[in-house]
Every structure is written in C-alpha cells, then in structure tokens.
Structure 1
Amino acid sequence: MAQQALPERGARLGRPMGAAASRRTVHGVVLLLPGGDPDGGTRRPTRMSPAPVLPLARRLVRAGQEEGLAAHVVHYRCRGWNGPDAAAAADAEWATQEVVRRYGDVPVCLAGHGMGARAALRAAGHPAVASVVALAPWLPEPDALEPEPVKHLVGRQVLIAHGTNDERVDPELSYRFAERAKKVNRDVCRFEVHTDGHGMHQHRSEVQALAIDFLLGSLFATGYSRPVADALAAPPPLGLRMPLAAGFGSTLRR
C-alpha cells in the first residue's frame, strides 16, 4: 500500500516573547529568522532549527521590555531557500503580515542569521518593516543579469554584521551587497567582526549588544550609540567596514 504524502505545513510564529507574553501593550516587534540550507527541498526544519537565534531573542526582549517590545521566532515551512522559490523570504513576508494582523500598526524589525539574514533582507519591502538586522548573511555570487534586489530597502534602516573568518559564507559578498544597498539607501551600515567565524561565537556579547542598540534605535527612536550613528552616517567604504572588536559591546550597552 502506497504511503500518502504529508500535507504541506504552513509557516508559523513561535510562542510570543516579551510584551506579548506578559499581556502588555506591544509597541514594536522583532521577528527572528533562523538559518537553513540553500537547497533543503521541502523537508521540514528540525526542532532544533530555531535554537541558534533564541539567545539573541531573549536579550532583545529584555533590553526592550520598557519600550513594549515583543518577539517571535519564525518557523519555516521547509528547510531550504530553494532557488527562485525563496521559501524563507516568503515565510518572512507572511510572518510580517501576521504581526500586523495580531498587533496592528507597529514597527517590525526582521533579524536573521545566515539564510535567515538573506530572508530578512529580501522581505524588508513590507510596509510594516522599519529595520533589518542581518548577521552573517548568506548571499549568492553577484549576478549581473539578476542581482540580489536592494531598491526595496529604501526607507529601512539596515545593519549587517559579518565575521571576517567566516568559512561558510564569504564575507566579501555581504560587503558587495551593502555597497550596492548604500547607493540607494544611506541608512545602511555593516560591521566586521574580526577573527570570528560564521556563528560569531567569539564576540557574541558584542554582536548582541550591537543588535540591541540598533533595534532600539530603529524601532523606538531612542537614538544610537556613537559607533552605530557614525557607521550609518559614513559613506562607503567607511560605513561598511566598521570593525567590531572585543570590548566594543561595553561601549554600546545602554
């Protein structure tokens, strides 16, 4: 007897964190987009797929509790990007629309790592998206005929951080992307995490502090620390090759 194919499961939001979990008024939302595989097919993500972004989610909601920040991890329909389907980006767009349905007209930050960072950048054209945090984004080699889109980033504030020793994703590709994006949107900055790899574990506290500072400034207009403000204001390449070194987080913490 032939086995029946499992029905395709839609994307979903993980359990609410922060203001939504404590039943307080939500004034802003961050959606966490985990990494994945370039070609994962229709296989469902594993239960551990969201684990790498949970520590960042917890730190973000703690830092934004007074501002009414809520957070959700996005659970994808399938494991991979899957070429032209851009499945993770489509799921990020759905998740943003779901945030609007649940919480109304609140600003949204898309924060992703690896494939999730590319999804965050690609889905940022949704009107509710105010900002993007892209950590070690997986980006393809530049294609002169069909380059990765950047024009939809106009009006969004964009932070990219990438380890210089990333052996899984070439950090030069995120620099080239940021260079193109900066030409159409001055509110793009990129930090280089020296000697760190794809997961940026060596300087995790500094990277998380950077993400906190950027998120609070972009969603709640609380202002940026000087390093972030300088990076946003600087023309390329200065605003795209800003160093993030050990101890830098102490300068950014509020």
Structure 2
Amino acid sequence: MSHDAPPARGARLGRAAGASGPVPTVSGVVLLLPGVTRWPPGPVRPLARALARAGRAEGLVTHTVAYGGEGPREADARWAADEAVRRYGDVPVCLAGHAAGGRAALLAAGHGAVNSVLALAPSLDEAAGPDTPEPVKQLSGRQVLIVHGTNDARSAPEASLRLAARAKKANRSTCRFEVHSDGHRLRDHQAEVVALCVDFVLGALFTGRYSRPVTDALAAPPPLGLRMPLASGFGRSLRG
C-alpha cells in the first residue's frame, strides 16, 4: 500500500472523532466526504456526530476530509484511505460522501482498505452522459448503499438509480433507498437518513448485520432493492 503525499490541493483529514480512552483501539474508520463547499452543508455533519456516538464501543473513528478547490475528487478519497491505513493499520474503511463527495466515494471504492461505500445524493448526472456511464467494477466485493431524495433538483435521482442497477449486476451487496419528497441536502427527513446510514455503516464495518429494511433491500432483485422507500420514523424501533 502506497502512502502518497496529499494531493496538490491540500487534502487533509479533520480531527478524529469516536473511539476514546488513553490508548484507543481503532477497529474501523469512516472517511466523510462533504460536497462542494460553496453550498450549504448537507447531512455529513449530523452523520459524523451520530457515528461517533454509535460506534465508540466498536472502536470506530470518523474523519471528515477537507480539501481545497471546488470539491472532492477520486484522488482525494484515495489519499484519505491511504492516510487512514498509515495511521490505523489494517482496519476496514467506509467511504461516505454527499453530492460530489458521494461520487468520489463511489469512484475510489476499489482502494484495498475500503470495504463499504455510502453515497448520499451523489452528483452523477453532471459527470457522465448516456454514452459514458460511471464505472461500477470498483464496487465489486464492497457493501454499497445509495440514498437519494426523490425531489433532488441538483443531483438527478434517475442517475443514481441507473448506476445502482448496473452496480447490482456486478455486486449483489448493493442497495438504494429513496427518501420521498426530500431534496438534495436530505434535510426534511434527516433523522431517518442518519439512522439508516449508521445502521449500514456499523453492519458493514463490524457486525455483518443490518436492520430488516436494509437486509430486505440487499436481498431484493432490481428494481425493488434499488427503489426501497425510507420509512418515516426509521430508527425509532432500533432504539426501542
């Protein structure tokens, strides 16, 4: 595994959150990739807080990846995964991104340390036309969850559905949830989105177990498992 210097634009890992103690044992890492910085923040910040709380006992550490320029690239996500390996050794890594960060996470999934990818409202429609589809081979062998609001006017939900359908053919461990009437920032149903993401990340990195909706989505054939509705109140039963 190579440990390259940060890309020219100055990518870096933010402060670690999660595993605690005098000498914390890190068993898994989530690298959070926000979208383009000039837009209001999406769901990355509340997700970071929720993961730090929920994964502390498992030895989970989260880092938000900072970068210059217009936003994240595949190179930034790959560098961040290299840096996680350099700091923590041979532990599983989840790439979790929103918007352009979601696309970067999907593209960098082939990194050897990555075992799972979480893409929230990934910006795919601006990246490739019908004659140049986004690659999916790098998703093979990874756990993949895509979440998209049906009213997203900035990143087309149809684009992530097409990508998920192609990915499912190469990788059965792919599912996609639709958040009815929500927009690009997934703000209207933020609590449910965050609960879904936490359930997926902990299952992918540690337990291999998921809530019933995620299990059903992974097992269902297309298009059912790729258009799974995110139920209102998701997560309440998990806490109860």
When normalised by structure 1's length, the TM-score is: 0.85
Which residue number corresponds to residue 78 of structure 1?
69
Give structure 2 stretches of 5+ with no counterpart.
Answer: 1-7
Using a 3 Å threshold, how does the CA distance of structure 1 residues 68 and 50 change in structure 2: closer, same or farther? Answer: farther
Which residue number corresponds to residue 121 of structure 2?
136
Displacement after TM superposition at 1:50 (Å): 6.8
2:230 alignment partner AA: L
Displacement after TM superposition at 1:170 (Å): 1.2
Using a 3 Å threshold, how does the CA distance of structure 1 residues 246 and 183 change in structure 2: closer, same or farther? Answer: same
State the 4+ residue runs in structure 1 displaced beyond 6 angstroms.
Answer: 48-51
Using a 3 Å threshold, how does the CA distance of structure 1 residues 20 and 29 change in structure 2: closer, same or farther? Answer: farther
Displacement after TM superposition at 1:89 (Å): 1.2
2:164 to 161, 178, 187: 178
1:27 paired to 2:12: no
Are the aligned partners of 1:117 and 1:137 in contact in 2 as well (CA < 8 Å)?
A: yes
Are the aligned partners of 2:42 and 2:186 in contact in 1 as well (CA < 8 Å)?
A: no
1:60 to 30, 51, 56: 51
Which residue number corresponds to residue 135 of structure 2?
149
Which residue number corresponds to residue 173 of structure 2?
187
1:230 paired to 2:230: no
Q: Which moved more, 1:15-24 or 1:26-35?
A: 15-24
Are the aligned partners of 2:20 and 2:56 in contact in 1 as well (CA < 8 Å)?
A: no
Identity %: 65
Q: Which moved more, 1:137-146 or 1:56-65?
A: 137-146
Q: Secondary structure at the match of 2:225?
A: coil
2:203 to 217, 239, 245: 217
Using a 3 Å threshold, how does the CA distance of structure 1 residues 79 and 253 change in structure 2: closer, same or farther? Answer: farther
Give structure 1 stretches of 5+ with no counterpart.
Answer: 1-7, 37-44, 81-86
Are the aligned partners of 1:111 and 1:133 in contact in 2 as well (CA < 8 Å)?
A: yes
Are the aligned partners of 1:210 and 1:252 in contact in 2 as well (CA < 8 Å)?
A: no
CA–CA distance in 2 between the matches of 1:204 and 1:105? 32
Are the aligned partners of 1:76 and 1:88 in contact in 2 as well (CA < 8 Å)?
A: no
CA–CA distance in 2 between the matches of 1:186 and 1:238? 13
Q: Secondary structure at the match of 1:139?
A: coil
Which residue number corresponds to residue 76 of structure 2?
91
Which residue number corresponds to residue 100 of structure 2?
115
Displacement after TM superposition at 1:222 (Å): 4.5
Number of equivalenced pairs: 232
Superposed CA offset, 1:65-113 (max 9, x none): 1100000000113224xxxxxx521001000000000000000000110
2:19 alignment partner AA: A
Which residue number corresponds to residue 4 of structure 2?
none
Q: Which moved more, 1:217-226 or 1:125-134?
A: 217-226
Alignment RMSD, CA only?
Answer: 2.0
When normalised by structure 2's length, the TM-score is: 0.90
Using a 3 Å threshold, how does the CA distance of structure 1 residues 204 and 50 change in structure 2: closer, same or farther? Answer: closer
